[in-house]
Amino acid sequence: MSNTRELPSQRHDAGADDSDWGTATALDIMRRPPQSLDAEQAVLGALMSSTGAANRFFAETLETGLVADEYYRPAHSMIHRAICTLYEAREPVEPLAVVEELTRLGELAKAGGASYLHTCIQAVPTAANGAYYAEIVRAKAYRRAAIESAMKILQYAYSEEGDEADVRSLVEQELTSIAAGMPGLSAAPPVVGDLYLDFVSELEDIQNGREVGLPYGLADLDMVTAGMKPGNVTVIAAQSGVGKSTLALNAAVSTAKTGAKVMFSSLEMSGTELMQKIAAAEGKIPMHHLTREGGLTADGWKTIERLGRDLFNTLPLRVYRPDGAALRDIESAARACVRDGGLDVLVVDYLQLVEVEQSRSISREQAVAAVSRGLKNLSVQLECHVIALSQLNDDGMMRESRAIKNDASVVIKVERPDMDEPESPRAGEVDLVIEKNRFGPTATVTVAGQLHYSRFVDMAQT
């Protein structure tokens, strides 16, 4: 049997009244509108299941352009709005939280009750398919919108109201509207004229010193890079033992002193070891005095007490030592910081130790690239700056360097000229080689390494 539909003229019986054709056409159109309730449930289930390492699937689903009004079932629209409200407030998007939000809005019963949310979750096999189901929902919504526009045109044409110009105007209006709502077609990006006033305002702030990045704590480095900015990643790379962790911890403390909220996630050092490093740097206490029996003098104890009172009790710096080494754990801790006061800078020590899901089935290079991309996405989502440490091999090359450098805004390689030459005339000097800098020139900044105090300082301070 052919699937080709007959033209109206072919179906028109010669003996039939003209009104019969119009009635048949209307009945043919007035069928159940296109929809897929299964796909709608699956989308909502995917959004409520996108937690932990699967969080990226939440953004991928919403990036399809799906909005609440595109659901066929009103209850699904309510649930979608509640989910988006939680997401925009940076609250966890999980069934219990959605239930609470719907209850607050007085819409829980209309949305099907708490049990219906679990029905939606069970409707999706994996959150990774959320974007696929969202495209189905959008496509059905587009067809419904096309039908609605066509019906408006038909009704106006049958009414014989207005003249040809009015009919043409309505047709153009409806066709333009339906074309603009085509799935995958978002609103046009703003033209530069629309961005100009905001640009000038920010430019004035920068030129007048009102808008600067958070400090690394080294004057020349801050000047060349313009400091740390939200949504960007700084990679600090060095061979083992050069001091990349020390440099990152110095930066974390320095920016926390300005009031910025910082989380230092270490996969190598314990909380006690990090505290020892901070105490040594801030109190100018030799590290070996803090790590051996009887090493601390009476004055040293007074310094520790002063640091506790004047620094540690007020410094907005969190130290996180995950039980495992999974990226999802670091992401979860970072989001918890955002909910509990905010997060401006996240330090991850170091990239090659972080694991991702399915890392056993992918190459080492792919795994590190996934971690690098995950941290970049996290910096954008949380509007924080990420400092990611990376290990260099014996040849001074960054492992898996291409992916890491692509995601970074600033890449700093730490080099110590006296590592292999104890009698070097540059003993104690450390070069911070800025290999990539989106905010200024590449350059080499030389600082003084005072590793017995676990710190780096400007050359002018020596």
pLDDT digits (tens, 9 = 90+) for 414-432: 998 887 777 778 888 899 9
Q: What is the 3-state secondary structure (H, E, C) of 440-456?
A: CCCEEEEEEEEHHHCEE
The set of residues, in sequence order, having a beta carbon less than 8 Å from that of 352 and lying 6+ positions away, is 368, 390, 391, 399, 400
- State how far Cα 240 lies from the chain centre: 30
Beta bridge partners of 446: 431
Mean pLDDT of 340-353: 88
| 211 C-beta neighbours (distance < 10 Å), count | 15
Exposed (0-12), middle (13-18) or buried (19+): which is 65, by Cβ within 10 Å? middle
From-to residues of CATH 3.40.50.300 in the chain: 219-461
CA distance 22 to 159: 12
Which residue matches tokens 């590592």? Answer: 419
Residue 254 has pLDDT above 60, yes or no: yes
| 135-167 CB burial, b ≥16 within 10 A, e <16 | bbbbbbbbeebbbebeeebeebeeeeeeeeeeb
230 falls in which pLDDT band (50, 70, 90)?
very high
| Percentage of the chain modeled with pLDDT above 90 | 35
CA 89, 93, 96, 98 torsion-angle sign? positive
All CATH 1.10.860.10 domain ranges in the chain, comma separated = 18-186
Q: What pLDDT, in 10s, does the model give residues 83-120?
A: 988 888 778 888 899 999 999 999 999 999 999 999 99
Q: Which residue has the tokens 């006296």?
A: 418
Q: What is the mean pLDDT of residues 62-81?
A: 90
Residue 327's pLDDT band, with cuts at 50, 70 and 90, is: confident
Q: What is the mean pLDDT of residues 197-213?
A: 78
**Do residues 289 and 300 lie in contact, with contact meaning Cβ atoms separated by under 8 Å?**
yes
User: What percent of the chain lies above the pLDDT cut of 70?
Assistant: 85
pLDDT digits (tens, 9 = 90+) for 267-280: 888 888 999 999 99
> So what CATH class is 18-186?
mainly alpha
Q: pLDDT value at position 181?
A: 61
Average pLDDT over residues 438-446: 90
Cα 322 to Cα 266: distance, rounded to the nearest angstrom: 8
Q: Whole-number mean pLDDT of the chain?
A: 82
**Which CATH architecture fits 219-461?**
3-Layer(aba) Sandwich (3.40)
Model pLDDT, residue 1: 37
Residue 127: predicted pLDDT:
79
How many other CB atoms are there within 10 angstroms of residue 331's CB atom? Answer: 22
pLDDT bracket for residue 175 (50, 70, 90): confident
Is residue 412 a contact partner of residue 236, using CB atoms and an 8 Å limit?
yes
Is the pLDDT at 357 greater than 70? The verdict is no
pLDDT of residue 355: 76
pLDDT surpasses 70 at 406? yes
CB burial of residue 129 (10 Å; 0-12, 13-18, 19+) = middle
Q: How far apart are the first and last CA of the chain?
A: 91
d(CA 330, CA 264): 10
Quote the pLDDT of residue 106: 92
pLDDT, residue 9, reads 35
